[in-house]
Amino acid sequence: MAEVALRGVSKSYGNVDVIHDVSLDVGQGEFVVFVGPSGCGKSTLMRMIAGLEEVTRGDVLIGGERVNDTAARDRGVAMVFQNYALYPHMSVRDNMAFGLRNIGTPRPEIDSRIAKAAEILQLDRYLDRKPRAMSGGQRQRVAIGRAIVREPKVFLFDEPLSNLDANLRVQMRTEIARLHHRLDATMIYVTHDQTEAMTMADRIVVLRAGVIEQVGAPLDLYERPANMFVAGFLGAPKINFIKGRVAASQGNEILVELAGGTRLSALVRPGTANPGDAVTLGLRPEMLQIALDGPLPGRVEVVEQLGAVQLVYATLADGTTMVAELRDRRPPAVGADVRFALGPGIRHVFDARELSITLPEGDHQ
Amino acid sequence: MTAATQTRVLPVAEPRTKVPQSPAKRRDWLTALLFLAPFLVVYLVLLVYPLFLGIWISFRDWDLMGGDYGWIGTLNYQDLWSDPVFWRAAGNTLKFAAMTVPSMTLVALLLALAVQGPGRIRAVCRSIFFLSSVFSVTVVTLVWAMVLSPDRGLIAPVVQFFGGTPFNFLGSPTWAMPAIVVTTLWWGVGLPMALFLASLGSIPKELYEAAELDHASRWSVFWRITLPSIRHTVVLVVVLQIVAQLQIFGQPFLMTQGGPANSTRTLVQYIYETSFRDWLVGYGAAMAMVLFVLMMIFSMLQLWLGRQGDDQ
Amino acid sequence: MTAARTGWALWGDRLLLAITIIVAALWLLPVIWVVTMSLKPNAELMRSTWGFIPYPFTIENYTNLIQLATVPRWLVNSLIVAIGMTLLVLTVSSLAGYAFARLQFPFKRTIFALMIAGLMIPEQAVFLPLHQMFADWGIHNTHAALVMPRVAVPIGVFLMMQFFRAVPRELEEAAELDHASRFTIFFRIMLPLSVPALTTLGLFTFIHAWNDFLWPLVSATDADMYTVTVGLASIQGNFAMSEGLGSVMASAVFASLPIVLLFLIFQRFIVAGVAMSAGK
């Protein structure tokens, strides 16, 4: 077990920076999720930690030691790949034993570690099967088992669940989380799926275009996104962004005027917004309600009935599409003109540079 | 927490070039060298060096026992220019290729169309048409010389049955070449047929189903769907066949010995005879170079045609 | 063309199949005829060669063949040459193919381009100089001399490279994280995975080696060193008048048996190989 640290790490191909000056500390036993859209560099960053990609600038430290020049095999990390990367010609047992044999682990030791891993992952009955004869979920478990038996300092997961169907993904999500508690190992996990990030992470690292946008605990990021990108990336259905202009400000409170004349109040950090400034309001779908006297008029376009909740998509006066998550079994009809009211919840405000100027919750008067 | 305000060029996909760790780099090069060494050695010693040695020999008066009577410049090539047997052999070779390549391509395509698809019977037919290409040239020529034999062959009795006179194909300056072409077809059609089968098999089934729903006739399905889909393979087969057929040697050498009246003597046979019967290795090497250049032109043609196809 | 056909179209299909069967039968006829002749007494063949049923029947032609020992000797030569060549080509091609597919080294592109250029060098361009070189080395009339010129085949390297490139890179990365060295990765992961590709390349090499004619013709001048292909040519010259027609046919059948058996056992790999090499 060990901590991982990145110090000003960059990766370039020619003149193109794929990773730009990334610094990050992952504590021992921590579960950190790298999340971001495809092409953001999250996999590259993980592969640099693994030693599968060279570091152009900066240092990668594992357990306090600089490993830039250490070969992948000597870094003491284990990785679970998106396509499992199981050796197709070997049985499950041989897949797990391969790494241990390569470092000359004594046979009884190998056997006992495999037995232990197989028990944890419920693979006991499949040890002599070839990967080909197994389901996607089972193969995924074998890939994890192959990592476990190595007893690595750090576990790396590269989008391990994206090849599984929806049900299995949910199941494996909890299994990996449970595994993390049981092994108390340092784990770094890459995904493009914000749900996985939200549900599994101790801390989330949001990446965009090779740069860390924000790092923090899931709920922190959800409630206090540093910018519109983070706010938009986390949460489903997606947060609603509504453009407006500061009509008046007094202390922490501002009044935002939206297209169509609607005015909504919000709390911002002192001195961040002056009347006339263009701002964007961020309203989570779950804080929207339908009320006769609501301030926000809209026309219902689509209603998605999910049983417990209903997603109502509506168009506002300026053509912005907004989604509200309602808990009302009788949602409005398509085409109906309705008014939305704002329930309790944070009204996020972003300035013209898309940075959050929302007043942090603790500072509410 | 830095916020990205400036826009950066986004790489479309995360590049995944395998980069070795710098201290390990030299070790990796050494590994690569170990993997490459056996091939490089045989390649340089047994292919590249002989090629240049061959070019060198073609400018010398050189005999079979290694007797080297010195540099004679382009004399060998000048002799070629005025050697009627060489021109005859070159003409025969081109004529043979001109007859074999189109018929081979056509027969291979027809057979592939006939035997593609499911079912045991078609599978057996596929095997039969391919089977004849695993025989060695000696066996093939033995079989066909027998089949074509005027007194003991397979064709003669059939001709007689219909009241004709048995005919000695291989003894006729007109018919010896076509007889060798037929032999070559029987021997060599397996590979191009298999190429066509692979290509036909990779045409999406949906195309045919859509055509069926559009009431396309079988004929228009072939011209509008099948043929355009396999045009790359047609080019490949034609060029491979040209290159292969220019090298023809065994069939005429064994069936007619180049006769009758030199009507089937090919370039390779003439190279062989010049070098190993007349001992004129320098002269033979010059001829080999001419053949090499000829084949190279057609190989280039394939590369060029391949590029053309990709541009579309 | 899986859609159900009806009426005329169905009959068209059946007619086509019937024609195909007839053509296939005619295609096979010469082979059957030769086998038939090889099983008839020579005296009978002097009278008539017609017929596709070996009656009167005899295996004398084959027993004579084995007693004579020249043809079996050639067969052994062919086996040594073909097996040796196959093993060498597989070794050389898979090692180099892997290097081109997955290793980094200086001048990789140049070396690769040179190898591809080698695809265009035909046998005829090098067989005379090779003959001179081997004469200098004094190795004509050995098995090695028959094998060596055919080991330097860029096409084999190319095919193996194509195959290795198609293996997911993650597999090697996983192995690397599993403490495997390059050699372990190659021998324990890549080679076992490439058995189908190796089989295909091996089959083509073997058939090619078995049927090789020009080079053994000029290199093996000693009748004891003939391969079956060259050996058969040497006894074939005057068979038409030969009284031992049955024996000639028997030796042809005998010489073809190994290759035909190989074909029948492994034909699916041949088809796969054609598809592989055609796939660019």
Question: What is the predicted pLDDT for the residue at B4?
Answer: 37
- For B:232-271, CB contacts with C below 8 A are 233, 236, 243, 247, 249-250, 254, 268, 271
| CA–CA min distance C102, chain A (Å) | 13
Considering only residues B144 and B62, tell me which one the structure prediction assigns the higher pLDDT.
B144
Cβ distance A212 to B2 under 8 Å? Answer: yes
Question: What is the predicted pLDDT for the residue at A240?
Answer: 94
The pLDDT of residue B228 is above 50: yes
Lowest mean pLDDT among A105-109, B148-152, C108-112: B148-152
Residues on chain C touching A50 (C-beta within 8 angstroms) = 173, 177
Question: Rounded to the nearest 5 degrees, what angle is found at the Cα of C232, between the Cα atoms of C230 and C233?
Answer: 65
User: How do A211-216 and A203-208 pair as beta strands?
Assistant: antiparallel
Report yes or no on whether pTM surpasses 0.80: yes
pLDDT winner (highest mean) among A100-109, B111-120, B206-215: A100-109
Q: Which residues contact C139 (CB under 8 A, 6 or more apart)?
A: C145
Residue with tokens 């109502």: A312
Residue A72 to residue C193, Cβ atoms within 8 A: no
Nearest CA in chain A to C190: A87
Alpha helix (H) residue ranges in chain A: 42-50, 92-102, 107-120, 136-149, 166-183, 194-200, 218-223, 228-233
Mean pLDDT estimate for chain B = 83
Q: Domains in chain C, please, with CATH? A: 69-236 (1.10.3720.10)
Question: What is the predicted pLDDT for the residue at C239?
Answer: 52
The rounded distance, in Å, linking the Cα atoms of A147 and A183 is 12
- Give residue A204's pLDDT band: very low, low, confident or very high (50, 70, 90): very high
The size of chain C, in residues, is 280
CATH superfamily of B84-311: MetI-like (1.10.3720.10)
The domain defined by A4-233 folds into Rossmann fold (3.40.50)
**Chain A CB within 8 Å of residue C180 CB:** yes
SS3 C77: helix
Per-domain boundaries in chain A? 4-233, 240-363
Q: Where in chain B is the domain with CATH 1.10.3720.10?
A: 84-311
Helix (H) or strand (E) holding C88: helix C70-102
CA distances from C279 to A153, A160, C36, C101 (A): 44, 31, 41, 17
Residues on chain A touching B23 (C-beta within 8 angstroms) = 69
The pLDDT of residue A340 is above 80: yes
> How far is Cα of residue B260 from the mean position of the Cα atoms in its chain?
26
* C-beta atoms surrounding B214 within 10 Å: 10
Residue B11 to residue A226, Cβ atoms within 8 A: no
Residue C240 to residue B145, Cβ atoms within 8 A: yes
Lowest mean pLDDT among B39-48, B63-72, B99-108: B63-72
Residue B16 to residue A213, Cβ atoms within 8 A: no
Question: What is the predicted pLDDT for the residue at B10?
Answer: 36
Mean pLDDT estimate for chain C = 86
**Chain C CB within 8 Å of residue B67 CB:** no
SS3 A202: coil
CATH of A240-363, one of 3.90.1150.10, 2.40.110.10, 2.40.50.140, 3.40.50.1820: 2.40.50.140
Question: How buried is residue C39: exposed, middle or buried, by Cβ count under 10 Å (0-12/13-18/19+)?
Answer: buried
Residue in C124, C245, C279 closest to B271 by CB: C124
Question: What is the predicted pLDDT for the residue at B90?
Answer: 92
The pLDDT of residue C61 is above 80: yes
SS3 A304: strand
Question: What is the predicted pLDDT for the residue at C6?
Answer: 65
SS3 A298: strand
Sheet (strand A154-158) strand order: A77-80, A154-158, A186-191, A31-35, A203-208, A211-216
Question: What is the predicted pLDDT for the residue at B25?
Answer: 65
Residues on chain A touching C178 (C-beta within 8 angstroms) = 73, 98-99, 102, 146, 150
